[in-house]
Amino acid sequence: MKVGFISLGCNKNLVDTEKTIALFKEHNYEIVNDPKQAEIIVINTCGFIEKAKEEAINTILEMAEYKKQNCKYLIAMGCLVERYKNELEKEIPEVDLYIKYSSYNTLWEQIENLILSSSKQKEESFDEYTNRVITTGNNYAYIKIADGCSNRCTYCAIPYIRGPIKSRKMESIIQEANKLAEEGYKEIILTAQDTTKYGIDIYKKPMLADLLLELCKIEKIKWIRFLYAYPETITNDLIEVVKENPKICHYFDIPIQHISNNVLKRMNRQSNGESIKKLICKLRKEIPDVILRTTVMVGFPGETKEDFNELYSFLKEAKFDKLGAFSYSKEEGTPAYNMKEQIHPSTKRSRYNKIMSLQQQISHENLEKNIGKTFEVLIEGITKNKKYYVARSYMDTPEIDGVIYIENTKSLEIGKFTSCKIIDVKDYDLIGKLLN
């Protein structure tokens, strides 16, 4: 039978989708990209914030239409299902099987029970090393090093969906990284809800620095990147490991969420404004070419005008290289859902727009500083008009940050590294030319 997949939400969800694709391939199902051809459609849903939930429901309803044509089985899995399985079964009965995240260890058994009426149990854990079908091309791949989260931020539903942090054994991660390296992947990107807490549950201490050192020993891996590094667990050891090992990209993705202590306390964040400022200064001092990315939230319950102005002033001064912002979204089951002093939607929109307008200006100024500099880049593609190659440097995470467009003056091989000189800036991207 032919199977089509739709993966919504974050890159951690994408890894789960890739594992599920591999399960179907191992059992001789044919994978297709066109839902019109699929006899089975699998949707991996996100349920993190309101917009994600709406997207997931709309996607399910859209795919349900194909059951009137060729599709025989519609399967939904992931975070939305974990939170609302009972409600979804009642409201959208067109879905033949809802698989909760917490039951992924019997995922294939459930699928076979539906399709083949068999009960073959897959023994290995879904979160340890299993085969995947990489969907991100031939140059980079994500490795999920942990799942769940124990931070209990008052706005976040992840601990209620995926439970407390569950780290993978280091040997399992190294095994997966070695396999990816042998398959030709040049960059591995470590992901988790909070990568800097990796290992704290099974090794009783943060082990990201140790893991990075082991990954650096894999000869065929060129770049190593890690995302979602919470500020309170970025240790001196971790900074030193990043600084001293050329394979590790000088790139820190640090979701600070806010800078006002009033808001951070209400969010139940473990860092405070002063510690965040000290960390940023330390990173820039220790690693002068470091790229700093952050995420901030506006409109959290109780965020005063003074709190927002403090955040705005801080961002104006800190000048993060990359920044994402979002407005607070009420999520059922979280402590913040019932907090008093909820912020009016128009105020949230206004604050969001002000932050993004500021960052657009900062981003352009930061990018202009790269004009005249030379970077080693990974060639990832070519524009439709063949005028430019599309490349990335250590400064950019794929699909999240910008790219470098390099003038096509000679033939280059996709997936190879070369050097280029930056000559111009265009929006959030750079323009470069080959050195020879």
Longest Cα–Cα distance in the chain: 64
Q: Final residue of a domain: which of 347, 368, 389?
A: 368
State whether 13 and 105 are in the same domain: yes
pLDDT value at position 318? Answer: 97
Closest alpha carbon to 278 in 304, 306, 256: 256
> How confident is the model over 53-69, as a mean pLDDT?
90
State whether 64 and 13 are in the same domain: yes
DSSP type of residue 93: T
Is 259 inside a domain boundary? yes
Residue 332's pLDDT band (cuts 50, 70, 90): confident
State whether 352 and 384 are in the same domain: no
Lowest model confidence (mean pLDDT) among 123-137, 172-186, 323-337 = 123-137
- Checking if the pLDDT of 299 tops 70, the result is yes
Cα–Cα distance measured from residue 163 to residue 336, given in angstroms and rounded to the nearest whole number: 18
User: What is the reported pTM?
Assistant: 0.79
Provide the CATH number for the domain around residue 26: 3.40.50.12160
Express as a percent the part of the chain with pLDDT over 90. 81
Q: How many domains does the chain have?
A: 3
Express as a percent the part of the chain with pLDDT over 70. 97
Is 193 inside a domain boundary? yes
Is 133 inside a domain boundary? no
State whether 408 and 430 are in the same domain: yes
> How confident is the model over 64-90, as a mean pLDDT?
91
State whether 198 and 310 are in the same domain: yes
Provide the CATH number for the domain around residue 242: 3.80.30.20
State whether 220 and 262 are in the same domain: yes
State whether 243 and 354 are in the same domain: yes
- For 105-153, what is each residue's pLDDT tens digit? 889 989 988 887 533 444 445 566 667 888 888 999 999 999 999 999 9
pLDDT value at position 121? Answer: 40
> How confident is the model over 148-169, as a mean pLDDT?
91
> How confident is the model over 374-385, as a mean pLDDT?
95
Structural domain boundaries enclosing 156: 140-368
pLDDT value at position 128? Answer: 67
> How confident is the model over 327-347, as a mean pLDDT?
93
Number of residues that make up the chain: 436
State whether 224 and 326 are in the same domain: yes
Is 127 inside a domain boundary? no
CA distances from 3 to 34, 55, 73, 104, 132 (A): 9, 21, 9, 19, 15
- Checking if the pLDDT of 96 tops 90, the result is yes
State whether 291 and 206 are in the same domain: yes
Is 12 inside a domain boundary? yes
CA distances from 129 to 123, 155, 181, 375 (A): 12, 31, 15, 34
pLDDT value at position 160? Answer: 85
User: Would you say 189 and 141 are in contact if contact means Cβ atoms under 8 Å apart?
Assistant: yes
Is 128 inside a domain boundary? no
Is 62 inside a domain boundary? yes
Q: Final residue of a domain: which of 336, 368, 400?
A: 368
Provide the CATH number for the domain around residue 426: 2.40.50.140
Is 134 inside a domain boundary? no
State whether 218 and 343 are in the same domain: yes
> How confident is the model over 218-233, as a mean pLDDT?
96
Burial class (CB in 10 A: 0-12, 13-18, 19+), 184: exposed
Residue corresponding to tokens 């003038």: 407
> How confident is the model over 292-318, as a mean pLDDT?
97
State whether 358 and 217 are in the same domain: yes
pLDDT value at position 28? Answer: 87
* Average predicted confidence (pLDDT) for the chain: 92
- For 242-270, what is each residue's pLDDT tens digit? 999 999 999 999 999 999 999 999 999 99
State whether 150 and 279 are in the same domain: yes
pLDDT value at position 119? Answer: 37
> How confident is the model over 192-197, as a mean pLDDT?
96
Give the containing element (helix H, strand E) for 126.
Answer: none
Q: Final residue of a domain: which of 344, 368, 392?
A: 368
| Three-state secondary structure of 379-418 | EEEECCCCCEEEEECCCCCCCCCCCEEEECCCCCCCCCEE
